[in-house]
Structure 1
Amino acid sequence: MKWLGAILILITCTWIGFEAAKRLSDRPKQLRQLKVGIQALEAEMLYGLTPLAEASVRLSKQLAYPINLLFEHFAKNLDSKGESAHLAWEQSLDETWGVTSLLKGEREILRQFGQTLGQHDREQQQKQIKLTMVHLDREEAEAKDNQLRYEKMLKSLGFLGGLLIVILML
């Protein structure tokens, strides 16, 4: 019975380490998807002159989970509640943030981006989007660096932490 408990503890701790490493590796991917989404939104808004809700629906179908949820909720919030773009974006961030691997810094960048949606002329909107992209580029570089540094360590730490608990228990 002791051995069964020890194996379960080891498996659980290893799984926790792998999950933490997965969140770390998902962050750069999600940042890239977010950048693609914002660039596509820029193209739809500025060059295609597509309404925000319609552009967001298109993007939600093109992007991968969980970033597609952000644009899907944004489109729904714009349509159903008739809110301003800023409030709809804020609400979409609140609704979808828990399923992403993104951090507080990215949330603040996206919140600031949402404040400018639909508030300026084309030229000013384009400048705001470029500024957002610069910030997201910086965050993506940091996320890649953290992934390279800590991903393998988290996996090992999960296993070794479980092993330590098993040894201390026996």
Structure 2
Amino acid sequence: MKWLGAILILSACTWAGFAFARRLSDRPRQLRMLVSALQSFEAEMMYGLTPLMEASLKLSRQIPKPISYMFAQFAYYLQKGEESAEKAWDACLSDTWPLTALQQNELEVMKQFGATLGQHDRIQQQKQIRLALSHLAREEQDAKESQKRFESMAKSLGFLTGMLVIVLMI
């Protein structure tokens, strides 16, 4: 019975370490998706002259999950008749952010971006998108460094923590 418990503890701790490592590796990938989505959003708004709701719906069909959820929710809130684009953006961020591996820094960048949605002319809006893109590119570099530094450590730490718990229990 002790061996079964030890195997369960070791499995659970190892799984937790691998889950944390997966989150570290998902963050740069999701940041790349978000940058790509904002670039497409910029193209739709600047060159296609597409309204926010239509551009968001189009993007939600083109980009992978979980970032696509963000744009689908934004379109939903706009269609529902939210007071402003900023409030719709904030609502969609609060709904979909927990589904991503992104962190607080990226959330702040996206909130700042959302505060400018629909409030400026096309040129100013393009500048705001480019500003958000530059911030997200910097965050992506930080995420890659964190992944490189901590991913294998998280996997090992999960396993070693399980071993420590087993040794302490025996």
Task: Map 1:39-54; keep pairs closer than 5 Å.
Answer: 39-54=39-54
CA contact (8 A) 1:77 1:83 kept: no
In the alignment, structure 1 residue 148 sits paired with structure 2 residue 128: no
- For 2:123 and 2:78, the matched residues in 1 are separated by 23
Q: What displacement does 1:82 show?
A: 3.8
Aligned AA (1:44): E
Aligned AA (1:13): C
CA contact (8 A) 1:33 1:64 kept: yes
- TM-score, normalised to structure 1, is 0.98
Task: Map 1:8-23; keep pairs closer than 5 Å.
Answer: 8-23=8-23
Aligned AA (2:62): Q
How many aligned positions are there? Answer: 170
Q: Cα RMSD over matched residues?
A: 0.7
**Segments of 4+ moved more than 4 angstroms:** none
State, as a whole percentage, how many aligned pairs show the same letter: 58
Q: What displacement does 1:83 show?
A: 2.8
| Partner of residue 81, structure 1 | 81
- CA deviation profile, 1:94-117 (whole Å, cap 9, x unmatched): 000111111111000000000111
Q: What displacement does 1:70 show?
A: 0.2
| Partner of residue 2, structure 2 | 2
CA contact (8 A) 1:34 1:67 kept: yes
CA contact (8 A) 1:14 1:159 kept: yes
- TM-score, normalised to structure 2, is 0.98
Unaligned runs of 5+ residues in structure 2 are none
- For 1:16 and 1:53, the matched residues in 2 are separated by 39
Q: What displacement does 1:147 show?
A: 0.1
- For 2:165 and 2:82, the matched residues in 1 are separated by 54
